[in-house]
Amino acid sequence: MTAPAAPAGASSDSASASRIAGISGIVFAVLFVVALVLVHRAPTLADPDSAYAGFYANGGDQLFVAVGLYLVPFAGIAFLWHMTAVRAVLDTLTPTPSAMAHGLNLLAGAIFVTLLFAGTAAVGAVAFGIYFGHSPAEDPQTARALTGVGYGLVFIFAVRGAGMFALTTTTLLRNAKVLPLVPAVLAYLLAAFLLLAVTSNPAAVLVFPAWVVLIAIFLLRHAHHAAAPAPEPDTGPPTHAPAAPLDTTGPSLRSDQP
């Protein structure tokens, strides 16, 4: 016995939400990577005080850091679109998902965006103030302290929120039959790295946009399949109704009958 087909309206809603989730996910990944590269032009914790003093005294790359800060909110907005659209897809495919995973998914996404904003603001605060506020260059110790706060917020807290979001989203999409087995395993490995990795290397943060792109590809694939018209059911060759039997009890028109 075949399962009943999903209503046309549900397929249309799923396709539309999947398309928005896929596109917004790719936009987030691009903006996030560009913003990270620009903000990373500021001195890091490993740099000596002379690097801090030279960077903030001579101008140099301060404009790039400030532009990177401006891009971070747009990346966060794109991620919120992505998260909301993914949850809309799940609502159409699994009206009663796991309550724990569904709730953790929302909280983890909100935590990631909040701490990402705070952490990048701390890292780029000095460069932003000097370039746009024309404030005097801060001493290296103040700049290093703000960088330490920003790194802690991003690499310890925001990345863990991203890992929990990746873990719960992968589970929910796998249960909804959007992710095949092999991509789901890869997505779980990326999520585990975000949850467990202990590093302050900015390259580690790129794991999260890589996970988002992976998910976006299969969401767009799902949108394509959901938007495709359903094939007409095969009812087989037409059958003709049997001819009605002749009525031999009625009067006959033959001339030899009385």
- For the segment 12-68, what is each residue's pLDDT rounded down to a tens digit? 777 888 999 999 999 999 999 999 998 888 888 888 878 777 777 765 567 788 888
User: Is position 245 within any domain?
Assistant: no
Domain total of the chain:
1
Q: Residue 7 carries which DSSP code? A: P
Rg (CA), the chain: 30
Alpha-carbon span 119 to 12, nearest angstrom:
39
| pLDDT exceeds cutoff 70 at 164 | yes
Q: Residue 45: which domain range?
A: 8-227
Here the contacts of 20-24 (C-beta below 8 Å, separation 24 or greater) are: 20/81, 20/85, 20/88, 21/82, 21/85, 21/86, 21/88, 21/89, 21/216, 21/219, 22/216, 22/217, 22/219, 22/220, 22/223, 23/216, 23/220, 24/78, 24/79, 24/81, 24/82, 24/85
- Give burial (CB, 10 Å; 0-12/13-18/19+) of 198: exposed
User: Is position 56 within any domain?
Assistant: yes
- Cα separation of the two ends of the chain: 59
User: Is position 215 within any domain?
Assistant: yes
| pLDDT exceeds cutoff 80 at 257 | no
User: Is position 131 within any domain?
Assistant: yes
User: Is position 179 within any domain?
Assistant: yes
Q: What is the mean pLDDT of residues 114-119?
A: 94
User: Is position 14 within any domain?
Assistant: yes
Per-residue pLDDT of 204-230, as tens digits, reads: 889 999 999 999 999 999 888 877 665
User: Is position 52 within any domain?
Assistant: yes
User: Is position 238 within any domain?
Assistant: no
| pLDDT exceeds cutoff 90 at 101 | no
